[in-house]
Amino acid sequence: MNLYAERTAMLGTESAFKMGGDIARCEERGMSVIRLNLGEPDFSTAEAINEVAVTEIRRGNSHYTDPQGIPALRECIAEQIARTRGIPADPGRVVVTPGAKAIVAYSVLAYVNSGDEVIYPSPCYPIYESWITFVGARPVPLHLRESQGFRFTASELERLITSRTKLIIINSPSNPTGGVLTGDDLSAMARVIGEQAPAQCRILSDEIYEHIIFDGREHRSVSSCPGMAERTVLLSGHSKSYAMTGWRLGYALLPSRDEALLFRQFNINIFSCVPPFIQEAGREAIENTANLTVVAGMVREFQERRDLVVEGLNRIRGIHCVKPEGAFYVFPNIEGVCENLSVIAAHDALPRELRPLTSPAGLFQMFLLYCHGVATMDRRSFGVIGCEGQHFLRLSTAAGIPDLKEGLVRIERAAADRSGFEAFVREGKNLYLGAP
């Protein structure tokens, strides 16, 4: 008899959370590490938001509350969504969760049977693939191409839709590419979904980076397209927009009250409710329009950093980097570096059991960390299925300008350090995250 249930083998992970141990190991050796791996804003939560939470705790607002979310928060979420997407939204269809991640899990658990098909972008937030495989569904990656600015076309989506398609996940602005879908992209996609997808197929629109968008563009949601609000689970949350990752606060607008009640039931079964003082702070974040100025300042800073990093990366031999239009990541193509340093050949030459634990970009990622002190994420951390032959890194711009500049200097040095890379691989230690 095995200790663990069979299904546990099907659960994926988010490698970003694994990286801490490797960074600590480097620092114990006396290295300074530039952290460009983080998926969270490096800004602090606004003081007015903190103040509300503290006051609420002092007021004794620390008891169980409505498992669906406190009405005051659900009301302002519904109002914000209705206003910004131009769709009807009522608080009875809003569910509040401890972080938006739970909405991904609930959407898969609620709608998808084993054997059903789920279309999702790749590269993507890795939690999509994790839950799809966990429930025994068939993952159908929709590959985002660099040449298209990591957007996809309606006809690419159309080719993947079948009578078994139960859920279509989209994410704009995107983690990890920073790609943003335009209003035209979304309209064309909505037409294809309306014509081709089975009536019971839902869309999960992950809009967690809705506020972090550059060059004066506006966020667009598929739910605004004709016929889509009725079939879209709209996911968003406070983590990125208000620099509140550790508070754990996310939410969804569901197509019907019935579906909201099912999501509420998941809440009841797993954690009962999100702490009420956190929800009050979340209400303050949305309701107090002064916060929009704070958000705008953060976005301006992210845009400045993006410009610096994209320009710097494109000056490095072997690297090509598309300019992202949103989120706080850049996703450079490092194929040239992999060729120059013979990284692909080094990966091919690894012992058979090691090869699936990493990738050429993964080897360069580890070399960059252990020999040059820069923490980044590799392509394979963002959807494993069908990622072979794609040589990319994700760099976060959630770091100050001096760190970003130093990071670029180190990456340039690493990209030309052929003998260093050979020695790293020869030594054979730390070739993948969390290696013993």
Indicate the pairing of strand 377-378 with strand 393-396: antiparallel
Cα distance between residue 324 and residue 274, in whole Å: 33
Footprint of ligand PMP on residues 63-122 (CB under 6 A)?
A: 99-101
Footprint of ligand PMP on residues 313-332 (CB under 6 A)?
A: none
Minimum CB distance to ligand PMP smaller for 174 or for 359: 174
Contact between 39 and ligand PMP per CB under 6 A: yes
Helices (DSSP H) in 59-150: which residue ranges?
71-85, 101-111, 127-134
CB of 101: closest distance to ligand PMP in angstroms?
3
CB of 236: closest distance to ligand PMP in angstroms?
9
Cα distance between residue 44 and residue 23, in whole Å: 22
Minimum CB distance to ligand PMP smaller for 237 or for 324: 237
Minimum CB distance to ligand PMP smaller for 100 or for 310: 100
List CB contacts of 128: < 8 A, sequence separation 6 or more.
Answer: 104, 118, 120, 169, 383
CB of 241: closest distance to ligand PMP in angstroms?
10
Contact between 237 and ligand PMP per CB under 6 A: yes
Strands in 123-221 per DSSP E:
138-143, 165-171, 202-206
Compute, in degrees rounded to 10, the torsion defined by CA atoms 296, 330, 132, 21: -100
Minimum CB distance to ligand PMP smaller for 250 or for 276: 250
CB of 175: closest distance to ligand PMP in angstroms?
4
Contact between 42 and ligand PMP per CB under 6 A: no
Contact between 360 and ligand PMP per CB under 6 A: no
**329 SS3 class:** strand
Minimum CB distance to ligand PMP smaller for 170 or for 334: 170
Contact between 169 and ligand PMP per CB under 6 A: no
Contact between 171 and ligand PMP per CB under 6 A: yes
Q: Which residue is nearest to ligand PMP (CB)?
A: 99
Q: Which position among 165, 223, 245, 390 is part of the footprint of ligand PMP (CB under 6 A)?
A: 245
Number of residues that bind ligand PMP (CB under 6 A): 13
Contact between 139 and ligand PMP per CB under 6 A: no
Q: Are 358 and 209 in contact (CB under 8 A)?
A: no
Footprint of ligand PMP on residues 191-220 (CB under 6 A)?
A: 206, 208
| Beta carbons within 10 angstroms of residue 45's beta carbon | 20
CB of 147: closest distance to ligand PMP in angstroms?
22
What DSSP designation does 333 have?
B
Contact between 372 and ligand PMP per CB under 6 A: no
CB of 296: closest distance to ligand PMP in angstroms?
21
CB of 100: closest distance to ligand PMP in angstroms?
4
CB of 99: closest distance to ligand PMP in angstroms?
3
Minimum CB distance to ligand PMP smaller for 68 or for 177: 177
Cα distance between residue 356 and residue 421, in whole Å: 20
CA of 222: how far to CAs of 178, 204, 219, 348, in Å?
17, 10, 10, 42
Q: Are 58 and 397 in contact (CB under 8 A)?
A: no
Footprint of ligand PMP on residues 259-298 (CB under 6 A)?
A: none
Strands in 261-384 per DSSP E:
329-330, 374-375, 377-378
Cα distance between residue 289 and residue 416, in whole Å: 48
Strand partners, 97: 250
Which residues are at the interface with ligand PMP (CB under 6 A)?
Answer: 39, 99-101, 125, 171, 175, 206, 208, 237, 239, 245, 250
